[in-house]
Structure 1
Amino acid sequence: MKAMRRWKFPRVVASVMLASGCLGGCSVFGGDDHERANVKQAVKRIDAVLDDTFKAIRPRIKWREGPAHISAHRNSFTNTANGEVGVDRKRYVRTKVSKAKLAELIKAVYKHWSAAGYEIGEMNPRGPSFSATASDGCVVHFSVGGYGNISVSASVDVSSDAVSGDIWGEEGDKFPKAPNGGPDYAPDVRDPYWSK
């Protein structure tokens, strides 16, 4: 009886490791590797989602675009790359949005994502922020940070052996320098409608 108990634990551990390895390598894009979107296609996808989101905001607001970035996914047991990466980009709103108009901006983005068929996640009242997921797995996120900083980001997972880092040729816009020497994400454009 004791011998059987000793063998159950390793079998369970092996089963969990096998399942985790399979789950860690799966992509939101179905099909074989050659059918899955590559990094360049992923950048086009997230840029299209961001373009559509900002076009839905009326009157238009100004923004700066951050670099497209790759985050290599790693196997949680072996800490090795699993052949899948996340591709993301963030846009920072340059238009100063008053507290009185913030709810209207949130409503415009929320309404657009709902109409596009995205599954809306829960609203986080702190900030505030919320996210949504498209049918192909593309995730979009709206967030309000300190000093009135507003950003919209999009990300999608694809099969690739690329390493983490900014994508060459997709550096985005040049940002002014903040007092600490880093990029300044603060809104710097007044608008007769949004800034009132």
Structure 2
Amino acid sequence: MRTRFDRELETLNLEMIQMGSLIERSIESTVQALIEKDVELAQEVIGYDKDIDDMEREIETRCLRLLLQQQPVAADLRLISTALKMITDMERIGDNAADIGEITCRIAREDYIKELRHIPMMAEATIRMVKGSVDAFVHRDLEKAQQVIDTDDEVDDLFEEIKAELIGMIHQDADCGAQAVDFLMISKYLERIGDHAVNIAEWVVFSLTGEHKNHRIL
């Protein structure tokens, strides 16, 4: 019975890796679409959202089956509970990437009011955070989970830089206001992705230690 349970846990790990890879690709592609004004790629990212939703349901079903059909010990119970919590944040990351894609579809035919410098930096940091948080779960790596949590300050600082720059641009030229709000929303979605990655990392800490901080409500 334990061998079968361990095989199911291994399959769960693989599914979590697959879902993590898809949301990483969503973030990377949605920012690439924004930079290159690629509406077709942005629409592709929006389409990823359904695939991510489907993966969330599949993993949720597996977790519930493990809880109902097996009798997990405390450590296994924390692990499965963590996976259930993680996929909620992972699904919301997919939503945020799709939201950026929708904005790109709307503004891609316009001249951008600013060079996109900090937004790609935010995206790169959030991709590292998402990958790190999923890797921490798969490899039961407490140190890697803590690294993800610590990286959140980097994303928050970039968001504040973008916000200050955009507010300054609006003060100088009110005509750029509409697009400035769009870029502010894009950077806010990236900040939220970072927050979701922190949530995931904190659930990994819980699965390994039994302790959990109050996670962010998003």
Hey, which of these two has a bigger chunk of strand by percent? 1
TM-score range, shorter chain: under 0.3
TM-score normalised by the chain length of structure 1: 0.26
TM-score (norm 2): 0.24
Larger radius of gyration: 1
Higher helix share: 2
